[in-house]
Amino acid sequence: MLVTLKELLDQAKIEKKAVGAFNGTTLESIRGIIQAAEELNCPVILQHAQSHDDMIDLEEIGPVMLYYAKRAKVPVALHLDHGSSFERCVQALRLGFTSVMYDASSKSFEENVEETAEIVKIAHAVGASVEAELGHIFTSEVVQGEGTSSDSTDDYEDLNDIYTDPRAAKEFVEKTGVDCLAVAFGTTHGVYLTEPKLDLPRVARISDAANVPLVMHGGSGVSDADYRIAIENGICKVNYYTYMNTAGGKASKEYWKDEETPLFYDSMSLAATEAIKEDVKRAIQVFQKL
């Protein structure tokens, strides 16, 4: 059943749990995510990141995501991840998404406030929720032929410059009316190249000041112990993608390894779906304290 992000996260905040947010870029991942949530009887967030448009465009995958979200036996919020323009957010809302993230975190505080408030106004008018981001969340990338590259704590002299400031978060939430806020405290999008060093007390300070559900991006590779503290401190939504996706990749590789197996692509698709489902289940169990 389709619900808004706000409904899910306000409840999660009360229960001190987090709802997993997973990117559905393929039919295998969408089915794996929904099946995992149904088997555990837990709510889930199905999302599409603008950066995945190269793989599949929102116009193409959005209606598929909506189909699975609507017929799911558990509450599902359909969310646009990292929308970078007003037009992109409106496009998602028109497709039936119940939530959008508007990411102007690379702009000045004032511009971020002004533009996010505009998105909040239009999203709330159609009953949808808004996530915004304040601070700098690291990103690691696979660079073709050169392994991976990432920015990290070593690249910055003063982490206070890039991590979310609790007082700024309070002001941002008050001025924009956002329903939840993605915060920077040391997590990385993609693969962690070194052990993550998270500023978890900062999460509690931001939560106390801003008083909205907080969002963790870059969930793959964080230890279960760190997850538990982060969730206790106010994280109510965890974006988790990389490990789920590589679980599908590993299962596909395994499938091809056995030369006796008839090489049917649809059988491999089912093997990948199953592996994605199991990885998502493991993540949901941690986030929901099962």
Which positions are annotated as active-site residues? 81
Minimum CB distance to Zn ion, residue 258 (Å)? 36
Q: State yes or no: residue 52 binds Zn ion (CB under 5 A).
A: no
Minimum CB distance to Zn ion, residue 215 (Å)? 8
Minimum CB distance to Zn ion, residue 101 (Å)? 8
CA atoms of 165 and 288, how far apart (whole Å): 27
CA 12 from centroid of its chain's CA atoms: 15
Choose the stretch contacting Zn ion; rule: CB under 5 A; options: 6-14, 32-40, 116-124, 213-221.
Answer: 213-221
Minimum CB distance to Zn ion, residue 217 (Å)? 3
- Residue 52 CB contacts under 8 Å (≥ 6 apart), including other chains: 23, 25
Q: State yes or no: residue 17 binds Zn ion (CB under 5 A).
A: no
Report how many residues bind Zn ion under the rule CB under 5 A: 1
Choose the stretch contacting Zn ion; rule: CB under 5 A; options: 61-69, 210-218, 245-253, 276-284.
Answer: 210-218
- Residue 61 CB contacts under 8 Å (≥ 6 apart), including other chains: 24, 25, 30, 48
Q: Are 156 and 186 in contact (CB under 8 A)?
A: no
- Per the DSSP assignment, residues forming a β-bridge with 130 are 100
Smaller CB distance to Zn ion: residue 72 or 162? 162
Choose the stretch contacting Zn ion; rule: CB under 5 A; options: 66-74, 110-118, 215-223, 248-256.
Answer: 215-223
Smaller CB distance to Zn ion: residue 103 or 115? 103
Smaller CB distance to Zn ion: residue 35 or 99? 99
Smaller CB distance to Zn ion: residue 153 or 252? 153
Cα–Cα distances (Å) from 264 to 205, 261, 269, 270, 275, in that order, read: 52, 8, 9, 10, 17
Residue nearest to Zn ion (CB): 217
- Per the DSSP assignment, residues forming a β-bridge with 134 are 183
Q: State yes or no: residue 79 binds Zn ion (CB under 5 A).
A: no
Minimum CB distance to Zn ion, residue 79 (Å)? 11
Member of 205, 217, 237, 277 binding Zn ion (CB under 5 A): 217
Query: Per-residue DSSP letters for 82-137?
Result: EE-SHHHHHHHHHTT-SEEEE--TTS-HHHHHHHHHHHHHHHHHTT-EEEEEES--
Smaller CB distance to Zn ion: residue 135 or 272? 135
Cα–Cα distances (Å) from 31 to 70, 71, 132, 148, 245, in that order, read: 13, 12, 27, 29, 13
CA atoms of 46 and 44, how far apart (whole Å): 6
Q: Which class for 238: exposed (0-12), middle (13-18), buried (19 or more C-beta within 10 A)?
A: buried
Q: State yes or no: residue 6 binds Zn ion (CB under 5 A).
A: no
Smaller CB distance to Zn ion: residue 4 or 50? 50
Applying CB under 5 A, which residues contact Zn ion?
217
